Amino acid sequence: MHVAAVLKRKGADVVTVRPGDSIGDVARTLTRHRIGAVVVMEENGSALPCGIVSERDIVRAIAADGAAALDRPASDLMTRQLVTATPADTVAHVMSVMTERRIRHVPIIEDERMVGVISIGDVVKTRLDETEMEVESLRDFVAGIG
């Protein structure tokens, strides 16, 4: 299965913030949308993300700086070297990259613009669905032989 199928099923809506938004605002955005990371988009109207901030980033910052971390801008904490994928990539490939790089969210880029984000949860659900379909096919095959 390809990433395009995952995006079709889950939708392409992406929650974003700006580099100047405070970490406190980012945390509220994560909570409001019940998500684990948010994509950071430049204010210049670029269609490509400039970073990503995760719950883990926020926890690390609070552990290091206390409540003062909540006043820092997202640009201070965001990961700038983004790992991205395309709709044509296979889910198995993206899962492998996520596991190897220890990341949980991957922006999906097509034609120089972001078209969605997939999470490790999306990838695992897709792989489980594929496995279940394979098992059902094997059951049907075996039942047809008997």
Prediction pTM value? 0.83
- Give the whole-angstrom CA distance, residue 21 versus residue 41: 11
pLDDT over 70 for what percent of the chain?
99
Task: Check if the beta carbon of residue 108 is closer than 8 Å to that of residue 116.
Answer: yes
Q: Where are the beta strands (DSSP E) in 2-85?
A: 16-17, 37-41, 49-54
Domain boundaries, the chain: 3-145
Q: For residues 136 and 130, what is the distance between their CA atoms, to the nearest angstrom?
A: 10
The tens digit of pLDDT for each residue in 12-42 reads 789 999 999 999 999 999 999 999 999 999 9
Return the percentage of the chain with pLDDT > 90, whole number: 73
Superfamily of chain region 3-145: CBS-domain (3.10.580.10)
- 65-74, 108-117, 127-136, range with the lowest pLDDT: 127-136
pLDDT of 50-80, one tens digit each?
Answer: 999 999 999 999 999 999 999 999 999 999 9
